Chain A
């Protein structure tokens, strides 16, 4: 089945710096790749997603890139702010295309 690897597990940056989180997936049939942000004790919230028919998507300070050949996708956050501190999860659709398989998460800490 689908396997999603996420790196790094923790990331500390200074306010204003950029942060990059990378994920790889195993199933070449996966066609949908969302990123979720989860603050402590709260629900995961979708921050950006990308489908397999595009290579890059941007929404203000957040961007996602997808390399289907290499089977990896990345989250880029520019001009980081303390409120960006949270756990970020990548995900990819499973083999059946019916559910999401999540990476292990990245704890991002932005210090001011």
Chain B
């Protein structure tokens, strides 16, 4: 149980385009979803916390207009990187949580902006 699916796993696109990443909880209802960014050989940096039906809470230094988060249902959250540039290239990973249960992570999305 507690499976989280993240799609796509890898995306390469041109500078200036927008990229949408989906995070789905497959077998449970996620009251909260989290989005992290991970640079090579570094830790997971929390970007934002998303509760179903409400606006995401962004961590300090994360541009909310750059990283749009939508959590429209208890099983789906999306992260859209708008007008992506090479410095946005990174590994983005989501996690989902039901109530106060442990967070379960998706497989991550490797984003490369040319």
List residues of A whose CB falls within 8 A of some B CB. 32, 34, 36, 41-46, 49, 89, 94, 98-105, 107
Contacting residues, chain B, for A44 (C-beta < 8 A): 44, 93, 105
Q: How far is the CA of A32 from the CA of B79 in the complex (A)?
A: 26
B54 in the interface, Cβ–Cβ < 8 Å? no
- Asked if A46 contacts B102 (CB within 8 A), the reply is yes
- Asked if A102 contacts B43 (CB within 8 A), the reply is yes
Q: How far is the CA of A25 from the CA of B34 in the complex (A)?
A: 21
Contacting residues, chain A, for B102 (C-beta < 8 A): 34, 46, 49
Question: Do A43 and B43 form a contact, CB below 8 Å, given A98-B32, A99-B49?
Answer: no
Chain B interface residue count, Cβ-Cβ cutoff 8 angstroms: 20
Contacting residues, chain B, for A32 (C-beta < 8 A): 100
Name the residue of chain B whose CB is nearest to the CB of A107.
B41
- Asked if A100 contacts B103 (CB within 8 A), the reply is yes
Contacting residues, chain B, for A43 (C-beta < 8 A): 4, 93, 105-108
Name the residue of chain B whose CB is nearest to the CB of A9.
B41
Expressed in whole angstroms, the minimum distance between the Cβ of A57 and any Cβ of chain B is 13
A43-B4, A102-B43 provided; 13 other pairs, C-beta below 8 A? A43-B105, A43-B106, A43-B108, A44-B93, A44-B105, A89-B43, A89-B44, A94-B46, A98-B49, A99-B49, A104-B43, A105-B41, A107-B41
Contacting residues, chain B, for A36 (C-beta < 8 A): 105
Contacting residues, chain B, for A99 (C-beta < 8 A): 34, 46, 49
29 residue pairs from A and B, CB less than 8 Å apart? A32-B100, A34-B103, A36-B105, A42-B107, A42-B108, A43-B93, A43-B107, A44-B44, A44-B105, A45-B105, A46-B102, A46-B103, A49-B102, A89-B43, A89-B44, A98-B32, A98-B57, A99-B34, A99-B46, A99-B49, A100-B34, A100-B46, A101-B46, A102-B43, A102-B44, A102-B46, A104-B43, A105-B41, A105-B42
